[in-house]
Structure 1
Amino acid sequence: MSGKRDKSLHSVPDAKLTDEDKFYESSTVDSGFISGGNLTLSGEIRSEEVTPEEPEESGYMRLDSGVDLSESFSGLNIKSPDLNDLSKTKLAPEPPVAEEETDELWKEYFQQDEDGDTYLHLAIAQGFVEVVLALIRRAPHPLLLDTPNDNAQTPIHLATSIGHWRIVRWLVVAGAKPSPRNIRGDSPLHIAARNGDVLCCKALTEPVKEQERLALGLSYPKQPYHEVNLDQWNYEGQTCVHVAAIGGHIDVLRHLVWYGADINAREGRQGYTALHYSIERGDERLAHFLLGECKKLNADAVTYGGNSALQLGFPVPSTIAEALRSRGVPSPYSSDDEFSDSESESEVTYDNSAMFVHNLIDASA
């Protein structure tokens, strides 16, 4: 395969997903990679797991589920409009695979192009659900599902970023790692939390059931599953709880907390908790949720600078301020003078400015 790949996807004339064996019935439900000629995985994928291949025409590939792919993925034409509607997509059992077709084809399918993308990345990006399913089924080992591109995006990052929750779930069930970091240090759960995508959050966090794995029809034996890291920092020191709080995504926060995410986690730069972010953003609804529904919330948590939610210097609605005081949160103000009047505030600002100018004059002398 050439280093440069045409990223247009066109013809899959006979690949279909039937209505049998529904895979994902409820909505409540690092890397080992191949680059160029380096097609070994330190013994992770053993030669006995695949069988010899019958030679095929040059530049032509065929997935065992009936998916025909040219070297450039040209000529893709998915006839059923429902295949791009993930809420309607169902799984059929994997059809029998001819032994002569099972050996070297995975090397072609999971080879990376000049951007580090595999066919799996490209199929996910363009929403071709049946191609994604066929490629997942053809992988001889789940390490191949964790291949990062040049932006450190694995297929599960990409599926999460565009909201393909069903593909996210397939990858999790197939054994893909749920918490790899991309170039920003974000895990797929960070991305789902930032987007307010509850379905992708559920697809990433729910335990895998054996019936899901059987329905997926994988080509390799059952592998140990990796649990999602709910409290993992990105490179800005934020957990998925912080990211959801900054976006005001209460439904995501509710789900994360229910699964055990630390609602009192402090981010790595200033030591903010979700409660601090609610005050900084002036998000009264979020603050009420945290104080009312999160039983493990530490209302008097302080930043690395020792500031409680009432000591950040941001305006606080009276109902929130009273609720925080009732839970012992220290405040720099009394209830009678929560904030100074506008005149005294401007006097302070003026005095500070005058002092600053005076200091500049002294410094230049």
Structure 2
Amino acid sequence: MDRLISLEPSNLVVIRVEPGQKCSGQLTLRNVMYTMPVAFRFQPRNKDRYTVKPLTGIVAPLGTVTVEIVYHLPPGSFLPDSFPCSDDSFLLHSMVVPGATIKGSMSSFDAVPNDWFTTKKKQVFVDSGIKIMFVGSPVLAQLVMDGSMDDEREVLDRSDPAWNPANSVDQHGETLLHIAIAQSRPDIVQLLLEFEPDIELRSRSGSTPLEAAAGCGEELIVELLLAHKASTKRSESSSWGPIHRAAVGGHVEVLRLLFLKGANVDALTKDGNTTLHLAVEERRKDCIRLLLANGSKPDVRNTKEGDTPLHIAAGLGDEQIVKLLLQKGANKDIRNKTGKTAYDVAAEYGHVRLFDALKLGDSLCFAARKGEVRSIQRLIEN
């Protein structure tokens, strides 16, 4: 016989680490003897890091005792000194005690003298194979930051599904998915998705994972999230939805993916701009073409100023975008909340080269054909 006590469920003790909570795990010791009580002593080699309860005890034949192992985090730290597998070790001493009396229960605890395990007259079994694995939000967040795929999978596998480990957040309020997206790691995103996280869980800034991935231009991650039914709509707490973030960043292929999943091309931002307004403002010409090709309305006015995309393009003095919008049917006679047309905006900023396209050219030709001298004179003077 090589041992008196078996370890359940195994020699690996899982300890969950969470800020502000007790970090503890449990190990069940089972007496494998059919007729004899067994005494045990369970000791951490580093007594400053761990508290064990009970430290000693007597276990009835075939009886069990559950030992609690409490880990004390280093001062000022959210993480253990080593993780996920600890380099700390423990010693479990056990010995048969034929004459021991157990009162009132299957076992008695913290009543075994230490000299029982030091005497040379009795055979003492020693088990030094007990190991610690740390799980929990800070551990998972750091492993995602480090890109440690194998360790991440093992920690997720070892974690209790009841606390939804894939939904862990770091001390800054970022979810594991958000951290992986920021690291440009579609492989880690795919791993996390295997453990069924809440795919709409927002970061502290209010963005969903899809919004974050779209803004970063992470095509593969966007595709993975969409395949897992991520919503293409703007979340209530976010200023911009996925389509807005993709357009502002100039991420044309991400826009294509979003349109394939039914994204609303004219969805509004929190402050009332369409995606086309934003794309024009950022001069994202490829995105503008794609938006218009997918039915974006060029004459929609934004909520605050009442500007159309054409007003914005006129203010920027971007002749190419102005012509592109006009080719797609933009109405240059629409006035914003201050009563200005796109031509008025261009004139205000001194963008003379836009005059022909926005008003002067078309109106002057029309007036000349009609022989309206006064109209011609007014147009020239303006």
Aligned to 2:310: 275
Q: CA deviation at 1:303?
A: 0.6
DSSP 3-state at the match of 1:271: coil
One-letter amino acid matched to 1:116: G
| CA distance 1:148–1:71, change in 2 (3 Å) | closer
Q: Residue 132 of structure 1: which of 182, 186, 189 is its match?
A: 189
Aligned to 1:220: none
One-letter amino acid matched to 1:130: D
Deviant stretches of 4+, over 3 Å: 3-6, 69-72, 74-79, 100-103, 181-184, 316-320, 322-335
Q: CA deviation at 1:231?
A: 2.2
Q: CA deviation at 1:107?
A: 0.1
One-letter amino acid matched to 2:330: L
Q: Residue 147 of structure 1: which of 201, 216, 240 is its match?
A: 201
Q: Is 1:200 the equivalent of 2:254?
A: yes
RMSD: 3.5
Q: CA deviation at 1:172?
A: 1.5
Distance in structure 1 (CA, Å) of the matches to 2:325 and 2:303 = 20
Q: What CA deviation, in whole Å up to 9, does each residue of 1:152-200 have, x standing for no partner?
A: 0211122122221211121122111112247661112211111122122
1:77-88 paired onto structure 2 within 5 Å:
77=148
One-letter amino acid matched to 2:229: G
1:49-60 paired onto structure 2 within 5 Å:
58-60=133-135
| CA distance 1:259–1:105, change in 2 (3 Å) | farther
* TM-score after normalising by structure 2: 0.54
One-letter amino acid matched to 1:73: L
Q: CA deviation at 1:108?
A: 0.8
- The answer (yes or no) to whether the contact 2:250–2:284 under 8 Å persists in 1 is yes
Distance in structure 1 (CA, Å) of the matches to 2:377 and 2:245 = 38
| CA distance 1:153–1:322, change in 2 (3 Å) | closer
Q: Is 1:176 the equivalent of 2:246?
A: no
| CA distance 1:240–1:70, change in 2 (3 Å) | closer
Q: Residue 261 of structure 1: which of 267, 289, 296 is its match?
A: 296
* TM-score after normalising by structure 1: 0.57
One-letter amino acid matched to 2:225: L
Distance in structure 2 (CA, Å) of the matches to 1:279 and 1:71 = 46
Q: Is 1:324 the equivalent of 2:378?
A: no
Q: Is 1:337 the equivalent of 2:381?
A: yes
1:344-359 paired onto structure 2 within 5 Å:
none
| CA distance 1:155–1:71, change in 2 (3 Å) | closer
- The answer (yes or no) to whether the contact 2:299–2:330 under 8 Å persists in 1 is yes
| CA distance 1:253–1:332, change in 2 (3 Å) | farther
Q: CA deviation at 1:112?
A: 2.7
One-letter amino acid matched to 2:378: S
- Higher strand content, 1 or 2: 2
Aligned to 1:286: 321
Q: Residue 277 of structure 2: which of 236, 242, 250 is its match?
A: 242
Q: Is 1:73 the equivalent of 2:143?
A: yes
Aligned to 2:171: 114
Aligned to 2:63: none
| CA distance 1:321–1:127, change in 2 (3 Å) | same
| CA distance 1:148–1:175, change in 2 (3 Å) | same
One-letter amino acid matched to 2:18: S
Aligned to 2:36: none
Unaligned runs of 5+ in 1: 12-55, 62-68, 80-99, 208-226, 339-365
Q: CA deviation at 1:109?
A: 1.2
Distance in structure 2 (CA, Å) of the matches to 1:239 and 1:333 = 38
| CA distance 1:117–1:195, change in 2 (3 Å) | same
Aligned to 2:64: none
| CA distance 1:182–1:162, change in 2 (3 Å) | farther
Give the percent of matched residue pairs that are identical in Structure 1 and Structure 2: 22
Aligned to 1:311: 344
One-letter amino acid matched to 2:338: G
Distance in structure 1 (CA, Å) of the matches to 2:298 and 2:333 = 13
- The answer (yes or no) to whether the contact 1:59–1:70 under 8 Å persists in 2 is no
Q: Is 1:230 the equivalent of 2:265?
A: yes
One-letter amino acid matched to 1:127: S
| CA distance 1:115–1:182, change in 2 (3 Å) | farther
Q: CA deviation at 1:307?
A: 1.8
- The answer (yes or no) to whether the contact 1:59–1:71 under 8 Å persists in 2 is no
Q: What CA deviation, in whole Å up to 9, does each residue of 1:268-305 have, x standing for no partner?
A: 1111111111111111111111122x1x3222221123
| CA distance 1:103–1:251, change in 2 (3 Å) | same
- The answer (yes or no) to whether the contact 2:332–2:343 under 8 Å persists in 1 is no
- The answer (yes or no) to whether the contact 1:287–1:320 under 8 Å persists in 2 is no
- The answer (yes or no) to whether the contact 1:198–1:252 under 8 Å persists in 2 is yes
DSSP 3-state at the match of 1:334: helix
